[in-house]
Amino acid sequence: MSLKMSAVTHIPVLLDEAIEALAVQPGGRYIDCTLGAGGHAAAILERSSPGGQLLGIDADPEAIKVASARLEACKDSALLVNDNFAHLQSICLKYDFFPVHGILLDLGLSSLQLASNERGFSFQHDAPLDMRFSPTQEITAADIINTFPESKLTHIIKEYGEEDYSHQIVRRIIQKRPIRTTLHLAKIIEQAVGGRRGRIHPATRTFQALRIAVNQELEHLPSVLKQALSLLGFEGRLVVISYHSLEDRIVKQFMQRESKGCICPPQAPVCVCDHIACLRPVNKRVITPSAAEVEFNPRSRSAKLRAAERITIEDDYHKAAEGLCWAMDVEAEGWRRPSLLKKLRVAFSAPQLN
């Protein structure tokens, strides 16, 4: 299958590793929760051909436009949805897109968003302090900078930005409010920390922290992981690429917890949790980019990939979701093809409900 390339400048990170971890197979059904410029999605469609299907989600309408152009040649196999992955379950229910063989999350922002002159993600261009992935979101970076109290702003910059100079930066921000543009904010931060220190620009960490806060990235991640679990078929794979230590910790702890049979505190004399292990880690260690990838694409340097496989489909929600899928009054064409459902039923050995 040939995939038409548009003028895409985002280089997909850990591409081969992600495809391998997803165990992409012909005829499989996959969700890319962070479509971006469609780099991973294109590879998934290529590897799952013939018969593969992809649901691609992105909160950013611009990303959907770019990815649609890129995936034009596969448009019959790809359904692209402009929404937040925090709504993953309802999106899948709406399009009858479950259970699936694999779900990918490649977190954070794309190089296209970073390079945009208007979105305010970067202090390389002067732009309004926006940083929203979606224009439908209410709170912008300017709202946070100009209205949040000192303690809340310090928490964001210290925790999400892992910034040692958070107090100095916030004190200076509060003195200089209102702050409307990226370059104005970058200058204030530079002054607050007394000029450049080390290789990275002193505003880098604060900008990262603001983006995480604006897009509620650390709130949406645990939610989407939980939802993903209920959409995976037996032996379906969950693959997450993260770029921030707090995100990686959430993913690691989620996969560890869901791989355990009992999650009672160690001092509990008998198990009372009734927890069932429903994941199996695919790799013993976290996967990071090779030196060659980092040299070719420096943006990949902080990437961490974790993958797990669904080993049981025993929880109630999953049973109900599968039941809904098989009992659905399917149409002859499009996303509800009976032949596809039949194939999936065999693939997942799912119970057939009448």
Alpha helix segments (H runs only) across the chain: 15-22, 39-48, 61-70, 88-94, 111-115, 141-147, 150-155, 166-176, 182-192, 204-214, 217-231, 245-258, 291-296, 316-327, 338-348
Tokens of 272: 């009372």
Using alpha carbons only, what angle is made at residue 352 by residues 349 and 354, rounded to the nearest 5 degrees?
Answer: 180
Contact between 247 and ligand SAM per CB under 6 A: no
Contact between 85 and ligand SAM per CB under 6 A: yes
Least separation in angstroms between CB 34 and ligand SAM: 3
- The site that binds ligand SAM (CB under 6 A) totals a number of residues, namely 23
Contact between 244 and ligand SAM per CB under 6 A: no
Nearer to ligand SAM, 190 or 217 (CB): 217
Contact between 109 and ligand SAM per CB under 6 A: yes
Contact between 36 and ligand SAM per CB under 6 A: yes
Contact between 39 and ligand SAM per CB under 6 A: yes
Contact residue for ligand SAM among 48, 110, 154, 166 (CB under 6 A): 110
**Using CB atoms, what's the residue nearest to ligand SAM?**
36
Nearer to ligand SAM, 19 or 313 (CB): 19
Q: How far is CA 218 from CA 85, 184, 221, 245, in A?
A: 12, 27, 5, 11
Contact between 106 and ligand SAM per CB under 6 A: yes
DSSP-derived secondary structure letter, 202 = T
Contact between 84 and ligand SAM per CB under 6 A: yes
Contact letters for ligand SAM, residues 112-151 (x by CB under 6 A) = ---------------------x------------------
What phi, psi does 173 have (nearest 5°)? -60, -45
Contact between 303 and ligand SAM per CB under 6 A: no
Contact between 160 and ligand SAM per CB under 6 A: no
Contact between 242 and ligand SAM per CB under 6 A: no
Contact letters for ligand SAM, residues 11-30 (x by CB under 6 A) = -x------------------
Place of tokens 């049973």: 319
Contact residue for ligand SAM among 69, 73, 79, 86 (CB under 6 A): 86
Tell me if 120 sits within 8 A of 131, measured CB to CB: yes
C-alpha span between 65 and 80 (Å, rounded): 9
Closest to 229 measured CA to CA, from 241, 242, 238:
238
* Residues belonging to the chain: 354
Contact residue for ligand SAM among 28, 99, 102, 108 (CB under 6 A): 108
Q: How far is CA 20 from CA 156, 180, 254, in A?
A: 35, 44, 21
